[in-house]
Structure 1
Amino acid sequence: ASESFTRKNINCSIDESFEKFADVLAAAKAGGIKVRGYVSCMADCPYEGAIAPAQVAKVSKRLLDMGCYEVSLGETIGTATPDRVKKVWEACLAEIDSSVLAGHFHNTYGMAIANVYQSLLQGIRVFDSSIAGLGGCPYAKGASGNVSTEDLYYLLSGMGFATGINLDALMHASQNISQVLNRANPSNYANAYWQTRCA
């Protein structure tokens, strides 16, 4: 949703990126392959600052009109708070059905799970996450990884949503990748889970 970020990320303008995507979408459609669209910088850009919610809605609708089956809105640098996230969803939901929208939240300032909760209140039901909060963005200095799958699982299961996740497998994968990378797991749920089992 940011011209500056698009330039840094894929070396073209937003309009030019759509021209390139048109060929990819056409080829995917011909091959019976579903395409998921992503919109970076749903709230803030590291180069431009705040992004207008109307701009996010415009780019999202354009991706859907081109043939994406779903569009995930990325809170790329993890600076948004739930009140701002709500405004973005409101702008999008005025034109787009919630069933074709998803959320992608980074946890730089610890707001990812709160932003997921706000998104749930707005009717969003699909979220990207990563085990042990892995990830980040090379074009956004200081941006941390995505919301951890462990914390997302805890929120969703606690609210009564069926996730289809095998908890034992999730927690062992989480522990394993953290050990392999020799990296502390930032997930609150993962840390509490293992502390209660090792006590």
Structure 2
Amino acid sequence: MDLPEHVTIVEVGPRDGLQNEPGVVPTDVKVAFVDRLARTGLSVVEATSFVSPRWVPQLADAAEVLADIERVEHVRYPVLVPNERGLERALEADVAEVAVFGAASEAFSAKNLNRTIDESLEMFRPVVARARDAGLRVRGYVSTVCGCPYQGEVPVADVVRMTVAMLELGCDEISLGDTIGVGAPGQVQDLLAAVTAEAPVQRLAVHMHDTYGQGLANTLAAFEAGVTIADSAAGGLGGCPYAPGAKGNLATEDLVYALHGSGVTTGVDLDALVDATAWMAQQLGRPPVSRVAEAMLAKRER
């Protein structure tokens, strides 16, 4: 495989992984989870989201989580902000990096944001501008790049248009998300060929869900296409509400194991990562869905 020498992993477990948990996870558990992940060698841990507590009660304690984590030098702690109010709350919490969340699917944008794609871009415009003026790094999420739960197929041209538009707004990096996990490696590479014809590959990341068991293959396919940044969640946390039975995000330890075994460096201590995954699984009262975590934990018990 033609893979990069080094890749950056964006750990999204504390935000994307926990936001759909049915039971409220205590604040101190979230804080400890972020702290444990930050000590594994991960350089980016998405800590929380300043979305309205009415829409995502699980993350109502965003400010408290950020106030209580023990920040590790050289680790970035981005947060998701849905709008200007969310940005204001994030600025009050003294964040250094934010992310905005859009979609390449008109149907998904209407259902999730109650806006057309163009209207969502106009909503993001002042958020990105204010964040940049405040000296913050800004990430943009483009979801449903491989398919939509409402409209089905998403035209590649719409993915390209949304990616370019968010870069033009001022986003430093765009994460392309297979929100319902329906993509396949060839599709991912074809999509990236179209996107990178209009946008620098160095500013792209991928965010692959594992609904059909393709998350790792799709991420490796993206790395072969020149991407060097990928999102994942410790323990495979993060079931998708739009895809019944979905297994959630690609598990970080599965990704790290595959990369290390292929000679790619990540800076992550796999044993420490599995420790963090096992600890969080205990807090949630269920085993991790990660194959690597399952295998390594079983080996330790021998």
Unaligned runs of 5+ in 1: none
Deviations, residues 14-40 of structure 1 (Å, cap 9, x unaligned): 100010100101101110011100001
Q: Alignment partner of 1:109: what SS? A: coil
Aligned residue in 2 for 1:132: 235
Determine the structure 2 residue equivalent to 1:112.
215
State the one-letter code of the partner of 1:166.
Answer: D
Per the alignment, residue 269 of structure 2 pairs with 166
Q: Which residue of structure 2 aligns with residue 68 of structure 1? A: 171
Aligned counterpart for 1:45 among listed residues 144, 148, 167:
148
Secondary structure (helix, strand or coil) at the match of 1:35 reads strand
CA distance in structure 2 between the aligned counterparts of 1:97 and 1:157, rounded to whole angstroms: 26
SS at match of 1:128: strand
> Would you say the 8 A contact 1:35–1:67 is kept in 2?
yes
Aligned length: 199
Quote the Cα distance in structure 1 between the aligned partners of 2:154 and 2:258.
28
Structure 1 stretch displaced more, 188-197 or 43-52? 188-197
Which amino acid in 2 is paired with 1:187?
A: S
RMSD: 1.2
| Letter of the structure 2 residue corresponding to residue 175 of structure 1 | A
Q: Supply the AA of the counterpart residue of 1:119.
A: A
Structure number with the bigger relative contact order (C-alpha 8 A, sep ≥ 6) is 2
* Paired residue type of 1:136: G
CA–CA distance in 2 between the matches of 1:193 and 1:110? 20
- 4+ long deviations beyond 6 Å: none
After TM superposition, the score normalised by the length of structure 1 is: 0.96
Which residue pairs with 2:162 in the alignment? 59
| Local SS of the residue matching 1:49 | coil
Q: CA deviation at 1:139?
A: 3.7
For 1:67 and 1:112, how far apart are their aligned partners in 2? 28
Provide the rounded CA distance (Å) in 1 between the counterparts of 2:243 and 2:294. 27
Contact 2:278/2:287 (8 A) holds in 1: no
Q: Following TM superposition, by how much is the alpha carbon of 1:140 offset from its aligned partner in structure 2, in angstroms?
A: 3.9
Equivalent residue runs for 1:1-199 within 5 Å: 1-199=104-302
How far 1:165 sits from its partner (Å)? 1.1
Most deviating of 125-134 and 189-198: 189-198
Partner Cα separation in structure 2 for residue 49 and residue 63 of structure 1 = 23
With structure 2 as the length reference, what TM-score do the two structures score?
0.64
